[in-house]
Structure 1
Amino acid sequence: MKPVVAVVDAETSGNVGTIARAMKNFGFEDLYLVNPPDLHRDSEAYGFAGQAREDVLPNAEIVTFDYLVENFHTVGFTSITNEDARKHTRFPFRTPDELVASLSDVETQTCLVFGRERVGLVNEELERIDEVASIPASADYPSLNLGQAATVALYELQDLARDDSQLPDVSTQRADEAEIEAFYDHFGEFLDDLDYPGEKKPKTLRMMRRILGRAHPTGREVNTLRGILRRAQRKADD
């Protein structure tokens, strides 16, 4: 089931708008707000929300923290700390990419809970959360801005929410083997036209085969390369 997103006690409406926009970017739809700032139409929230101002943001529901705990499997996001099994309010935790695998196998409604700009979710709230997640970051400065943290997390978790049927097909359509083999033959003829040293030709052909083998060219790319060879051959004949 597609997770919902909750923001607890955000101080600035701009961060709420940023999170709504990230939700729209990555396929999330339902936003819950606990003690939100003013979100009127002229606020930064609507200015930062992009196309999410049309649906995600105006449809956001204001609820209590108790409501989240009582109605969802909750995952709270927090900064990495030095806590361990002896003191485990924020431990153990999963990274967002680890959450994808675990939540994919669970038939329950999950709520991704993000906290305040300055202090995030406090320990009393985390003690009531079912799971803790944290975004790995530099030990010199591991704390992320609220909007940044939510955007990174939602990007990592988009496989749980995005409808891939709406995306363009960007997979590489590799050229047929016959087309590629024809290019190799053509390249060999091109080397002959250049009076390329015969003792070097097998090694050069093998190198070209390795290059194209790694590249997985499309039919159009192979045709373009052959067009370049033909043009070069005509110039050589002039």
Structure 2
Amino acid sequence: MISVAVVDAETPGNVGTIARAMKNFGVSDLLLVDPPELDPDGEAYGFAGQARKDILPNAREVDFEYLVENYHTVGCTAITNEDARKHVRYPFRTPRELADSLVDVDADTCLVFGRERVGLTNAELAQLDEICAIPAAADYPVLNLGQAATVVLYEMRTLTLEATQLPDPELDRATEREVEGLHDQFETFLAAVDHPEEKRGKAQRLLRRLVGRAHPTDREAVTLRGIFRRAAQRARKADDS
């Protein structure tokens, strides 16, 4: 199971935003260390969306030591070190690498997010099991707390959502008959526009490679066939006039 902990959040709104992201990506267990007051009529519940019905009301207040003692902990931070000698923040995983690494981990994991302005301290990170950081522009790598949690939780979705809840990644690719029909129509088009005959084979191979990488849908293939057909017809009419 994956849980989320927010340490010493300054604004209730960020707690609500994180709760909403949890709801989006199938995480329900929210742990709060030194939280602000979460007024049911305040911004935390206002920002939480549907998470105000279950995740926020069921959030548990714990201390930092509870996280360390009961979970495989992942500290989420924007500031890292590329030097192995400074090992408190190194090495670190990206959110995608973290998701891949957790597939075979048979342990309850807690994603730990820190304060809005300063994040998790070195002393806190030193107690956690591993570090996760989001790659961002070097001149401004710091994300808003709610944004950071959303990005990390998005990458966790393959672990937290049932397969039936995930969109079907299978592409509705055009049939081979439609694809070959597109290539035949392109051949006719090249002849109609009087493309140099010695270059037609190369042009056809280039289109075949392009279409092969693109995996067009039936509708895309049919549309392109129609465009080539109309263009060929107009080219012939222009030649006849």
What TM-score do the two structures reach when normalised by structure 1? Answer: 0.84
The correspondence of residues 182-193 of structure 1 with structure 2, limited to 5 A, is 182-193=181-192
Q: Distance in 2 between matches of 1:180 and 1:144?
A: 44
SS of equivalent residue, structure 1 residue 20? helix
SS of equivalent residue, structure 1 residue 120? coil
Structure 2 unaligned runs (5+)?
none
1:72 maps to a residue whose letter is: Y
Q: Distance in 2 between matches of 1:202 and 1:116?
A: 62
**Which residue in the other structure is 1:127 paired with?**
126
2:134 maps to a residue whose letter is: I
Structure 1 position 34 matched with structure 2 position 26: no
Residue 164 to residue 89, structure 1, CA distance change in 2 (3 Å): same
Q: Distance in 1 between matches of 2:34 and 2:230?
A: 69
Deviates more, 1:113-122 or 1:165-174: 165-174
2:127 maps to a residue whose letter is: R
SS of equivalent residue, structure 2 residue 78? coil
Structure 1 position 66 matched with structure 2 position 68: no
Contact 1:80 1:135 in 2 (8 A): no
Deviates more, 1:59-68 or 1:202-211: 202-211
Q: Distance in 2 between matches of 1:194 and 1:84?
A: 60
Per-residue Cα deviation, 1:161-211 (whole angstroms, up to 9, x for no partner):
233322332532222222222232233334445555544433433333233
Structure 1 position 181 matched with structure 2 position 185: no
**Which residue in the other structure is 2:17 paired with?**
18
| TM-fit CA distance, 1:51 | 2.4
Q: Distance in 2 between matches of 1:79 and 1:139?
A: 11
SS of equivalent residue, structure 1 residue 94? coil
Could you say what the CA RMSD is over the residues aligned between the two structures, in angstroms? 2.7
| TM-fit CA distance, 1:28 | 1.8
The correspondence of residues 146-185 of structure 1 with structure 2, limited to 5 A, is 146-185=145-184
2:18 maps to a residue whose letter is: I
The correspondence of residues 44-63 of structure 1 with structure 2, limited to 5 A, is 44-63=43-62
Deviates more, 1:51-60 or 1:202-211: 202-211
Residue 204 to residue 137, structure 1, CA distance change in 2 (3 Å): closer
Q: Distance in 1 between matches of 2:225 and 2:121?
A: 64
**Which residue in the other structure is 2:2 paired with?**
3
Q: Distance in 1 between matches of 2:125 and 2:44?
A: 26
| TM-fit CA distance, 1:231 | 4.3
Aligned length: 237
The correspondence of residues 193-232 of structure 1 with structure 2, limited to 5 A, is 193-194=192-193, 197-232=196-231
SS of equivalent residue, structure 1 residue 58? coil
| TM-fit CA distance, 1:84 | 4.6
Residue 102 to residue 211, structure 1, CA distance change in 2 (3 Å): closer
Q: Distance in 2 between matches of 1:138 and 1:70?
A: 35
Residue 225 to residue 44, structure 1, CA distance change in 2 (3 Å): same
Residue 221 to residue 132, structure 1, CA distance change in 2 (3 Å): closer
Contact 1:32 1:60 in 2 (8 A): yes
SS of equivalent residue, structure 2 residue 50? helix
SS of equivalent residue, structure 2 residue 39? coil
Deviates more, 1:55-64 or 1:186-195: 186-195
1:147 maps to a residue whose letter is: G
**Which residue in the other structure is 1:114 paired with?**
113
What TM-score do the two structures reach when normalised by structure 2? Answer: 0.83
**Which residue in the other structure is 1:103 paired with?**
102
Contact 1:80 1:136 in 2 (8 A): no
Per-residue Cα deviation, 1:103-139 (whole angstroms, up to 9, x for no partner):
2221000111111122222233223222222333344
SS of equivalent residue, structure 2 residue 111? strand
